[in-house]
Structure 1
Amino acid sequence: MDHIFVVQQRLIPDLIEKMQRRFNVLSMIQHEQPIGRRTLAERLNQTERVLRSDVDSLKSEHLIEIHPKGMTITVEGEEVLSVLARHMEIYNDLSALGSEITKLTGISRIIVVKGDADESPETQVHLGVEAGRCLQSLLSPNTTVTVTGGSSTASMASHLASVPFDVTFTPARGGLGEDMIHQANFIVAKMAEYTGGRYEALYVPDQVSEQTYQNLIQEPAIHSVLDQIKSADIVVHGIGNANKMANRRKTDAAVKKLLHEKAAVGEAFGYYFDKKGNIVYKVRTIGLQREDVMTKKHIIAVAGGASKATAIAAYLKIAPEQTVLITDEAVAKQLLKAFAFDNNIN
């Protein structure tokens, strides 16, 4: 993206959305000219009140002309459309949007589904479909997959299909005391059910004291599962909002205060990080550690919803390059803004 474009975006947060709307108005006028305001509003599914503001702006910039028979585009308007076409194509085309952000972030791939998971259950389902499809393509004989808990990873299981070979699913960490269907133990059991594979369970709390941690990892049954987690071929994980994850863990007030003071925005694998991707706090968890993740051949991160955009953007600054992110349109558009700006000021 052009440097001045991303600087303007930071100064005017709704710049892209406003540009998108006016681009659509200008495009429709070009295709349907001459066209009246009421017809234009109907074609764009906008109210005449909202459209009036955009039309007045386009007219004041000499991009359109208004005649008794309707509106027409000017030569200057044609030139503006031509210049903006590529930017708007990337912004509207989900595949192109994912490819553009992939280049900016440096991770392996970003897959974008339509909508906002915060607002639409259908979008949450689509996240699961795409994540399931991605995981299915990576499964091979004797593969071990380790999975964290959460609603995003839980949405994947029912979209997996049976495979004619052995696969093993393990929970990446202990339980958070959350709803059963969002716990890693339950999710890996469902994944095994749908693929015809096998699974291991890890019946320990997610967060423990150092002494308890040292005692538990010596237990043969737990030690065996931890070995499988560490040697897993594929990691599937979510990315959480720092405050929400702290609440889910029933974190004490002193730690919550610390997270606030350190401006933590996101969490993954028990690590809390700020907007720049700096790790500001680590929870002693039983299971997968960040250093284990870095060495995995395949990593699938699943997270969506505009409320997670800041957390996801921060995590991508420290994500291993072999990461594939499955996210939604609402997050992707925020990522495009954030990383385009970062890449142009560095």
Structure 2
Amino acid sequence: MYSQREMIRVAKLYYEKGLTQQEIAVLENISRPTVSRILDAAIQEGIVTFSIQYPLESVDDLEDELKKRFDLMKVCVAPVIIPEPSFILTDVGKLLSDYLNELVSDGDTIGISWGNSLTYAAKQLLSAKRKNVRVVQLNGGVSTTAFSTGATNILDQFAKAFEAQPHALSVPTILDSREIASALMSDSSIREIMAVGREANIAVFGIGRTSYQSVLNLAGYFKQDEYDKLLQKGAVGDICSRFYSIDGTISDEQLNDRTIGLQLEDLRRKKHTIAIACGEEKVPAVLGAVRGKYFNTLFTDENTARELIKQHDQVQTAEVQQK
């Protein structure tokens, strides 16, 4: 339709030189509507991209309230400017990126999970020159279907941002049996990667909720009746593919034995356990993770933060009334 050279030339005249579309039309001996179409084509082809730069201030009162109620080391709450998931995840991811840029030092080992929230956060990472940093995948990320978990891309983006050595756990995260999982974990290369994960002083992970639309379910790790049983056992969420109930305890020990990756109890021993969770539907999963003491740092949005406080108070009131 239009050549790349033509799109670049018109785009540079319009966006860089500041000529009007009419002036470009006269200069290039084409019609003004044609100039407009060429500019649209340049955007569609990715020749022209836009970035809105804006300071992102967190919501201090909600941060203080969540820190106090949940006894957390740090909480960062992004304001909801546009109430759509993609915009919210982008803004929360930007806050997380800024924090990691300050936190990560030479010699650190960063353990990461994968999922939708981490996908958005990884895209926001800024380049930071660090020495001898390692980035390791905390749970297996190979899908059993054509559905992509995005684990490899997230690992690559973290490694690129911190000029780090990546360690991929290139196996399925949930196996068919405990015996198969045990056999895989006996492999020397997998044992080595899992040891690096346990050594990580920084862990960054999303909090998943039990839903038929969850990444783990869509990736083909469960048959329909298996997921039904998991819900019946009271599972409210997962971290690093390990499922837990509202009280923070593992909801299915047999499933846990079939899972490849960091044990949840290992998170309690790390210096920085950073969770990212957005969406009011994830509140029960966050509350279960709080009770399990699986994170000490939380990144979320203001709508989720308010619902967290509301549901936390409701749970506490119900427990008092039961006594």
Q: Same fold (TM over 0.5)?
A: yes
Structure 2 partner of 1:156: 121
Could you report, residue by residue, the CA deviation over 1:291-321 in whole angstroms, capped at 9, with x for unpaired residues? 221111111001101221222222222124x
Measure, in 1, the Cα distance between the counterparts of 2:290 and 2:313: 13
Q: 1:37-52 to 2 correspondence within 5 Å?
A: none
Partner SS for 2:172: coil
Measure, in 1, the Cα distance between the counterparts of 2:271 and 2:86: 31
Q: 1:1-20 to 2 correspondence within 5 Å?
A: none
> Which one of 238, 257, 272 corresponds to residue 206 of structure 2?
238
Measure, in 1, the Cα distance between the counterparts of 2:205 and 2:130: 25
Structure 1 partner of 2:306: 333
* 8 Å Cα contact 1:117-1:328 kept in structure 2: no
* 8 Å Cα contact 2:85-2:279 kept in structure 1: no
Structure 2 partner of 1:113: 78
Quick check: 1:221 aligned with 2:209?
A: no
Structure 2 partner of 1:303: 277
Partner SS for 1:111: strand
Return the letter of the residue paired with 1:295.
R
* 8 Å Cα contact 1:127-1:327 kept in structure 2: yes
Measure, in 2, the Cα distance between the counterparts of 1:312 and 1:280: 15
Structure 2 partner of 1:272: 243
Structure 1 partner of 2:217: 247
Partner SS for 1:134: helix
Structure 1 partner of 2:18: none
Partner SS for 2:235: coil
TM-superposed deviation, 1:287: 1.6
Structure 2 partner of 1:210: 178
For the structure 1 residues 133 and 307, does the alpha-carbon distance in structure 2 shift closer, same or farther, using more than 3 Å as the test?
same
Return the letter of the residue paired with 2:248.
G
* 8 Å Cα contact 1:173-1:184 kept in structure 2: no
Structure 2 partner of 1:259: 230
Q: Structure 1 residues 279-288 or 115-124, which shifts more?
A: 115-124
Q: 1:164-203 to 2 correspondence within 5 Å?
A: 164-177=130-143, 180=148, 182-203=149-170
* 8 Å Cα contact 1:239-1:303 kept in structure 2: yes
Partner SS for 1:279: coil
* 8 Å Cα contact 2:142-2:170 kept in structure 1: no
Higher helix share: 1
Q: Which runs of 5+ in 2 are unaligned?
A: 1-57
Quick check: 1:104 aligned with 2:69?
A: yes
TM-superposed deviation, 1:161: 2.2
Large movers: runs of 4+ above 6 Å: none
Q: Identity rate of aligned residues, in percent?
A: 26
Measure, in 1, the Cα distance between the counterparts of 2:273 and 2:109: 12
Q: Structure 1 residues 248-257 or 303-312, which shifts more?
A: 248-257
Normalising by structure 1, we get a TM-score of 0.67
Q: Which runs of 5+ in 1 are unaligned?
A: 1-92
Task: State how many pairs are aligned.
Answer: 252
Measure, in 1, the Cα distance between the counterparts of 2:186 and 2:66: 43
Structure 2 partner of 1:147: 112
Measure, in 1, the Cα distance between the counterparts of 2:103 and 2:266: 19
Partner SS for 2:259: coil
* 8 Å Cα contact 1:101-1:339 kept in structure 2: no
Return the letter of the residue paired with 1:330.
N
> Which one of 266, 287, 297 corresponds to residue 292 of structure 1?
266
- Calculate the aligned-residue CA RMSD, in Å: 2.3
For the structure 1 residues 335 and 122, does the alpha-carbon distance in structure 2 shift closer, same or farther, using more than 3 Å as the test?
same
